[in-house]
Structure 1
Amino acid sequence: MKKLFFLLATILIAFSCSKDDNRQQDYAPELTKVEPLTPAEVNSIINKQIEETGTFKWDDVDSYVLWSAVMNGNSILTVGYDSKPFSENRSQKSIEIKNDIISLAVDIESDLAEKAKSAKDVLVYDSEIINYIDLHVTSIDVIEALRYNPDVRYVEPSGYEYFAHENIEKSSSGCNTTPANVYTADYVTIAPNAQLSWTYAKHNIPQAWSYSTGSGITVGLIDTGVSAEQSLLGSNFNNGYSSGRFIQKYGTYVNSIWPWSTSTDGPHDKCGHGTLMAATIASPRNNRNLPVGVAYGCNLVAYRATSDVVLDGYHEKRGVSIALTQLANRSDVKVISMSIGHIFSAGNISDAIKYAYSKGKLIIAAGGTSTNFTNWAGVIFPASMSETVAVTGITDGSGYTECAVCHKGSKIDFTVIMQRAGNSDRTSVCLGFFENTNTYVGGSSVATATTAGIAALIWARHPSWTRQQVLDKMKQSASFYPNRHSDFGWGTINALAAVL
């Protein structure tokens, strides 16, 4: 049966390539019905491509593999349409393209079901600004038709969860709400009785505070939310040395297996990761003997857009895309921190990043944190995009050595010293998930949040600067500048030099 499918697919390709126009109407006769590949078989194809090329794209597999992933992912197909990734004022042509795609899917799905279906049955989600829609489809013919439609940029199985079918541990700096026993040698106490992580001195951050604390700059954080149990990231965020600022919390993540669900589970962190990133960026300079953040004077807008650090589910991808779009539309947000990702890209997130980039946002993303078993993946998405600034973590040993769980590669832009060379458990010290607690946080996650805080210090020092000017200053203040390292980019930023 599979051989018959591939024969028909070959005929389809030859037929489609012979047409310059009207490919949507004349795409092919209905393909023979076949059983989808199992998730293990789909993952085997993905893994082979990653091993051979270092990356994976759904565009590079045939329609049978793509359809199999759709069928193993709640039958959700994400379609990026029109020539541009976003439209603030959608043209009539763009609307017609979208409606034609929906109508085509409805017609083919109706034929398969042998009963009439409506757009309501097929359309799951329609983004207002990003040019993509989510469809519920079961026919491989829909996929074939759309893949050869010149107005379609991508078709992806956004409901397919790669890691659900892999025997791989997720990031070691992922979900964890348990406070650690922090060595007293890993922090010093500063006025008015706050803890200063040992890592900050490696970047001259305390010295930079004489010139900037991030005041007046708003940082957007897209992660797992912020703990409702931590008042220093709530009612006591605007206090003392950190007065005159605000924290706002939003939720775009829908905790449901049902694709049509739209009710989020709120802004509060249930994982722990987002809380530690928020703390690293902006924890107040407090008098409770608890850790201070890098930019303790900045504002923070935090989104719960995902359940954990790996963007492997439909609602996580949609939640992150929505969060990016909303932050992009805020004129006060200058920096966006994303210590989350996946080993391959998602079109709706990629489009939203391009939209945020078009709005002048400095988007800082984690280069990748994993177990030693999976750090072969290289720089992960979205840090692999040219529109983002990719960051990884290194140890405090001589030379440049990535942390025990950190990725490296040619797409890394900056490094942060965040792990003791002799003890991989002793990483950056930050405020904990629960009240009156501190903990350790590591990986490229904390490196990203630290860099976002440094960017806020620079921008607060020069509030009229553009993104490019801030980025140039970051480069010029880094250890390898004017050269670029093949695995560690511009190197480690000297925050003091960056704000002078």
Structure 2
Amino acid sequence: MIPAAADTDPPDYLTLMKAQEMWKVADGSGITVAVVDSGFKEVPGVRSESVLPGVSVMSPPIKEPDKKYPPHDDVDGHGTTMTAAIVGDGSGGAPKGLAPGAKIMPVRTSLGTPMAFAAGAEGAKGIRYAADNGAKIINLSWGDYYAFEKIKPAVQYAQSKGVLVFAAMGNDGAGNNATNLITRIPGVIGVGAIDETAEPLDLSSHGPNTDLSAYGSKARIRCKENTTWCVADGGTSYATALASASAALVWSAHPDWTGNQVARVLIETAGGPVDGAKRNDWVGYGAARPSWVLLKKAGNPGAPDVDPLAPAPTNAPAPAPSHTAAAAAPAEAAEAGLPWQWLALGAVVAGLGLAGTLIVKRRRR
């Protein structure tokens, strides 16, 4: 990682995404995004009024069963970075958030601590809390193999309350391509990572559960135990935060839409594979381009209660396969936004690495 200095600035993905123009239409106001992660630490670059009180679901030590952990703390910096990617004000070396008018609900788990092995089960509890306390979008920039059976019903509960859930595909594309099991839950939007030219990052895990993509190359992240801002690859974690922010922009502009409708227009307007295929396993349906919805009025929201990722009728032709990984033309696909590399999350990411078998997602009906 390198310090966030003028000569090391990452590509300006906000310009590529036409953020300044979009903010004249909508900036995420009225939308709460729950960042279920390592918590949030008040740092330069994130205004306190952008972050709600939130909750900590961290498990207390066995010898200190009454110990409490504040949600506004983050020893790792991962959750703080996701928060900044969505609502940061751009000062002090921080990124400017893609949806600066949104509110973040920090849900702190044990990610980034020696107790990270408990984060999956804690995250399941946090997902339910977010769904019950006003979150419209839940951002999951992590995965857990061992706690999947607890996470799945929690996600489904959130979806039953109309919450839109985004999850990172994982950062093992250059390894054994282990993918985040959470992305196979019907209706969850799995997010892959691309660079500023809309080429998929080698590190981005990929497969049939990839639905959208966003930039995941150099970006501003919290580093050195959450003491400063640095520039490093953002990976699918940062990409997921930008996808969640894209949904917040669209939902802010169309508060009467349902989560299904927001997801549908994001999928319809995504910068698809360059070979013209409907989707591929690297970029999914393509790079998220909320500007097409806000500025070009593109995308048909469709039925409010129909999951846009549900299987097509059996008599419908299957979409053409794609053998080209890249998303649409760079100038357009780069509008997807630039994601950030998923920081080491200890046992939880290690658990993600064990989920190597790709399972075709059974979409929510």
TM-score, scaled relative to structure 2 = 0.71
- Tell whether 2:199 aligns with 1:376: no
Structure 1 residues 343 and 180: alpha-carbon distance in aligned structure 2, compared to 1, 3 A threshold: farther
**CA spacing shift, 1:463–1:347, aligned 2, 3 Å:** same
Residues 255-291 of structure 1 show CA distances to partners (whole Å, capped at 9, x for unaligned) of 53x39946443321011111111111111355x5643
Of 254, 268, 276, 2:81 maps to 276
1:438, distance to aligned residue in structure 2 (A): 5.1
Q: Counterpart of 1:237?
A: 48
Distance 1:391 1:310, change over 3 A: farther
Q: 1:431 to 1:206 in 2, by over 3 A?
A: farther
Counterpart AA for 2:278: N
**How many residues of Structure 1 are paired with residues of Structure 2 in the alignment?**
290
Distance 1:309 1:459 in 2: 34
User: Which aligned pairs between 1:387-466 and structure 2 lie closer than 5 A?
Assistant: 387-397=187-197, 400-401=199-200, 403-419=201-217, 427-429=218-220, 437=229, 439-466=231-258
Where in structure 2 are the equivalents of 1:17-96 lying within 5 Å? none
Counterpart code for 2:33: V
Matched position secondary structure for 1:364 = strand
* Structure 2 CA distance for partners of 1:214 and 1:252, relative to 1, 3 Å: same
| Contact residue 298 and residue 456 of structure 1 kept, 8 A | yes
Q: Cα distance, 1:198 vs. partner? A: 1.6
Deviation, structure 1 residue 205: 2.9
Contact 2:77 2:226 in 1 (8 A): no
CA distance in 1, matches of 2:115, 2:212: 23
Match for residue 64 of structure 1? none
- Cα distance in 2 for partners of 1:209, 1:259 equals 49
Query: Aligned partners of 2:203, 2:115: CA distance in 1, in Å?
Result: 18
Moved over 6 A (4+): 309-312
Q: Cα–Cα, structure 1 residues 475 and 272, in superposed 2: closer, same or farther, change >3 Å?
A: same
Higher relative contact order (CA 8 A, sep 6+): 2
- Change in CA separation of 1:280 and 1:311 when aligned onto 2, cut-off 3 Å: farther
Q: Which residue number corresponds to residue 261 of structure 2?
A: 469
Segments of 5+ residues of structure 2 without an aligned counterpart are 298-365
Secondary structure of residue in 1 paired with 2:177 = helix
The aligned amino acid for 1:451 is A
For the 8 Å contact 2:88–2:100, the answer to whether it is kept is yes
Q: Following the alignment from structure 1 to structure 2, what is the Cα–Cα distance between the partners of residues 418 and 462?
A: 27
Counterpart CA distance in 2 for 1:445 and 1:293 is 15
Pick the structure with greater CA Rg: 1
Verify the 8 A CA contact 1:231 1:237 in the aligned structure 2. Answer: no
TM-superposed CA distance for 1:309, in Å, is: 9.7
Residue by residue over 1:317-340, the C-alpha shift from the partner in whole angstroms, topping out at 9 and shown as x without a partner, is 23111111111112x311110101
Where in structure 2 are the equivalents of 1:474-493 lying within 5 Å?
Answer: 474-480=266-272, 483-493=278-288
State the shift of 1:486 in Å.
3.5
Q: Which residue in the other structure is 1:385 paired with?
A: 185
Deviations 1:189-217 (A, max 9, x none): xxxxxxxx522233333332221110111
TM-score by length of 1: 0.53
Instruction: Determine if contact 2:35/2:104 at 8 Å carries over to the other structure.
Output: yes
Letter in 2 for 1:448: T
Go from structure 1 to structure 2 and tell me whether the alpha carbon gap of 1:471 and 1:366 turns closer, same or farther (over 3 Å shift).
same
* Alpha carbons 2:121, 2:147 under 8 Å: kept: no
Match of residue 108 from structure 2: 304
Q: Alpha carbons of 1:289 and 1:395: their partners in 2 closer, same or farther (altered >3 Å)? A: closer
Q: Please report the RMSD computed on the Cα atoms of aligned residues, expressed in angstroms.
A: 2.9
Alpha-carbon contact 1:311-1:342 (below 8 Å) kept = no
The partner residue of 2:144 within 313, 325, 342 is 342
Per-residue deviation at 1:392?
1.1
Gaps of 5+ in 1: 1-177, 188-196, 239-244, 420-426
Structure 1 or 2: more helix by fraction: 1
Separation in structure 1 between the aligned mates of residue 253 and residue 59 of structure 2, nearest angstrom: 38
Contact 2:76/2:112 (8 A) holds in 1: yes
Conserved? CA contact 1:253–1:305, under 8 Å = yes
Q: Classify the secondary structure of the residue corresponding to 1:265.
A: coil
d(CA) in 1 for partners of 2:121, 2:281: 33
| Counterpart secondary structure, 1:316 | helix
Q: C-alpha offsets along residues 19-45 of structure 1, whole Å, 9 cap, x if unaligned?
A: xxxxxxxxxxxxxxxxxxxxxxxxxxx
Equivalents in 2 of 1:382, 1:487: separation in Å? 17
Whole-angstrom CA distance in 2 between matches of 1:295 and 1:491: 20
1:208 aligns to what?
Answer: 22
The answer (yes or no) to whether the contact 1:205–1:495 under 8 Å persists in 2 is no
2:346 corresponding residue in structure 1: none
Secondary structure of the 1:271 match is coil
| 1:344 shift after superposition | 5.9
Residue 458 (structure 1) shift = 0.4
| Whole-angstrom CA distance in 1 between matches of 2:99 and 2:246 | 7
1:353 to 150, 155, 158: 155
1:249 offset after TM fit, Å?
3.3
Residue 145 (structure 2) pairs with residue 367 (structure 1): no
> 2:96 matched to 1:292?
yes
200 and 327 in structure 1: CA distance in 2 versus 1, 3 angstrom threshold: same
CA shift in 2, pair 1:436/1:212, >3 Å: farther
Structure 2: distance between partners of 1:260 and 1:381:
32
The CA distance in 2 between the partners of 1:409 and 1:310, in whole Å, is 31
Offset, 1:224: 0.3
Q: Secondary structure at the match of 2:214?
A: strand
> Take 1:496 and 1:470, find their aligned partners in 2: how far apart are those partners?
13
Structure 2 residue aligned with 1:253: 58
Query: Could you say if the C-alpha distance between residues 471 and 212 of structure 1 is closer, same or farther in structure 2, counting changes exceeding 3 Å?
Result: same
Identity of aligned residues (%): 23
Q: Distance in 2 between matches of 1:311 and 1:317?
A: 11
The residue type equivalent to 2:17 in the other structure is: H
Amino acid in structure 1 at the alignment position of 2:177: W
Pair 1:429–1:182, CA change in 2 (3 A):
same
Whether the 8 Å contact between 1:459 and 1:470 is mirrored in structure 2 is yes
Distance 1:361 1:347, change over 3 A: same
